[in-house]
Structure 1
Amino acid sequence: MDDAARIPFTASLAPPRLVVPPGAVDCHHHVYDAATAVAPGAREHASATLADHARLMARLGVQRQVLVQPSTYGLDNTLHLAALRAAGPGRARMVAVVRPDFDAGQAREMAAAGVVGGRANLVQGIPLAPADVAPLARRMADLGWHMQIFAGAALIAELAPVLRAAPCPVVFDHFAQLPLADWAAHPAWAVVMDLVQAGRGWVKLSSPYSLDQAQPAAVTPLAQALVAAAPERMVWDTNWPHPNATTIPDDSALLDLLADWAPDAAQRRAILVDNPARLYGFGT
């Protein structure tokens, strides 16, 4: 395949075997601009453009997307808001990073552009911390947004009272970072199950390499357990351009794993189309 067919930050050179249904959503990806200043203490990232991601979506057969503000830019959502507006309201939504006390006028502008949630990335810890989770959840509830949390399983268990009491929907990043063995015995599993089975939580089936960099497919038993427990509360995403991967993965191969995680076609349609339509406010 010639260089024109290559897409940055993916090893994919061909479409996936799995044919996704119309209206499928990539529920988590980023864009980067090497010329944009990074937040203090954050890691830089090479440029990864909206146009590059659009080519990846076309290769995967995905039509819609959710931009997620990374820790790289802290509270400066400018780059992702510009990409959100460029992608358009029929195609894109966004999860921003904001402080619990951020300006109401700014919130209205963000919502009008397609922002539907706020993210607390507690793995990098930039710029929010565990103490911000409870007030952020209250702010998200006031706005009608959800709170997306990226945290290790131990921290999710530690935050159990806060998460169980959250007045807004809670979206767990990247399999809630649950362990690959004996996950049901981990206290974080009970927190996730309480929320998803009560209809107040969601799990992103994404970034399996964050649990095992060498063998992303090792997540399959955990993924199957999550899907079996609450298929109506699962969503899928690429996590492109894979900032937490040690080697660039094959996005087509990662999408094909969904056939193992959710063997039933109706479940896959829910995960790819119907569930994200409800969570992010896309028309079905």
Structure 2
Amino acid sequence: MSARSAVSDAALERWDCHVHVFEAQAPVQAGHYQPADAPLQTLQSTASALGVNRLVLVQPSVYGHDHQVMLRALARAPGQHRGVAVLPPDISDTPWDELHAAGVRGTRFNLVSPVGHAGPPWADLARLAPGLRARGWHVQWYARAEDLPRLAQAQEETKLRFVLDHMAGLQAHHLHQEPLWQALAALASRGAWVKLSGWYRLGSVFPYTDLYPVALRVHQLFGRRCLWGSDWPHTSFAPGTAPTYADLVHPVQAALGETAMSPLWGANARSLYLDESSPYV
């Protein structure tokens, strides 16, 4: 691919950096929800209405370490999308390298969901750290705001790149809780990223105006390391009550200004999820 065409393709890209795909018949972890069918083709059709053509598929907690659903989705459009896995601490090189070849670029720790990580994650993180470093992978965290000080410590200890889900768990009532913001500033200063996603998971309801000051402050800290994600297909909602896809874009635009969306779902995302081995570079 020529330099000219690479620049042209980049200008046409829009990324949704946090989505999930589900197959209704796939086995799930006990003790959590039974997801409805939410295939990649439905998501691509939904996202394309807003010009979104690149996706980051995040392994849902209900599937544990079984990545077959995500891998099948990635294989439908080789090289176009990216994935985030949930790795067991004893994973061997062969399945790890297969995930990398499929487009996976990070592992996730879920400290919130009922079938998320069982117990403190720090020992497992330490076991995975050498392999993560060797492959240039990041560590994605679904955590509560109260976890931020410990995450800042872990990032300093491991020197890994951290990515914080859902506005780092910060809710409106956290706006003036300065110890949390100090921890977040430490994470940002050491190269962490944050996703402005999942606002309905933060004690708010559409149009989420109470979160605008939080989003603005987060954006001021992270700048070009802010990302946008829809959290499609919105598993915390009852059938028929989920927000529209556009409803997850408009609050970000309103909070940060119209021009902020361009780097959030363009250059910022590209710099995290693409590397020189991608056929799209």
TM-score by length of 1: 0.85
Checking the alignment, whether the CA contact within 8 Å between 2:194 and 2:222 is kept in structure 1 is: no
Specify the alignment match of 1:44 in structure 2: 34
Query: Displacement, 1:255?
Result: 0.7
Structure 1 residue 96: Cα displacement = 0.6
Q: What 5-or-longer segments of structure 1 have no aligned partner?
A: 1-20
Question: Could you tell me how far apart the structure 2 residues matched to 1:130 and 1:197 are?
Answer: 28
Give me the CA root mean square deviation: 2.0
| Equivalence for 1:164 | 156
* Change over 3 Å in CA distance of 1:159–1:253 after alignment to 2: closer
More displaced stretch, 123-132 vs 60-69: 123-132
Aligned residue among 110, 116, 120 for 2:109: 120
SS of alignment partner, residue 57 of structure 2:
strand
Q: Map residues 63-102 of structure 1 onto 2, 5 A cutoff.
A: 63-89=53-79, 91-102=80-91
Contact 1:30 1:69 in 2 (8 A): yes
Distance 1:162 1:227 in 2: 22
**What residue number does 2:198 align with?**
207
The answer (yes or no) to whether the contact 1:236–1:271 under 8 Å persists in 2 is yes
User: Which SS does the other structure have where 1:147 is aligned?
Assistant: strand
Query: CA separation in 2, counterparts of 1:236 and 1:183?
Result: 20
Give the C-alpha shift of residue 238 in structure 1. 0.7
SS in 1 for 2:121: helix
CA, structure 1 residues 179+187, in 2 after alignment: closer, same or farther (shift >3 Å)? Answer: farther
Question: Quick one: distance in 2 between partners of 1:31 and 1:137?
Answer: 27
**Identity percentage of aligned residues:** 32
Q: Which amino acid aligns with 2:105?
A: V
Alignment partner of 1:224: what SS?
helix
* Mapped contact 1:137–1:167 kept (Cα < 8 A): no
In the alignment, what sits opposite 2:99? 110
Amino acid at match of 2:12: P
Asked whether 1:271 is paired with 2:271, we answer no
The 3 A distance-change label for structure 1 pair 203 and 184 is farther
In the alignment, is the contact (CA less than 8 A) between 1:231 and 1:271 conserved in 2?
A: no
Report the CA distance between 1:59 and its aligned residue: 1.2
- Cα deviation, 1:199-219, whole Å, max 9, x if unaligned, reads x20000001111134343321
Structure 1 position 182, deviation (Å): 4.0
**Quick check: 2:197–2:230 contact (8 Å CA) kept in 1?**
yes
Equivalent-residue separation in structure 2 for 1:29 and 1:53 (angstroms): 9
Secondary structure (helix, strand or coil) at the match of 1:60 reads coil
Could you list the runs of 5+ residues in structure 2 that have no partner in the other structure? Answer: 1-10
Structure 1 counterpart SS, 2:230: coil
Report the count of equivalent residues: 261
Q: What are the residue-to-residue correspondences of 1:146-161 with 2, within 5 Å?
A: 146-161=138-153
Per-residue CA shift, 1:6-48, capped at 9, x if unaligned? xxxxxxxxxxxxxxx7311000101111111101323211111
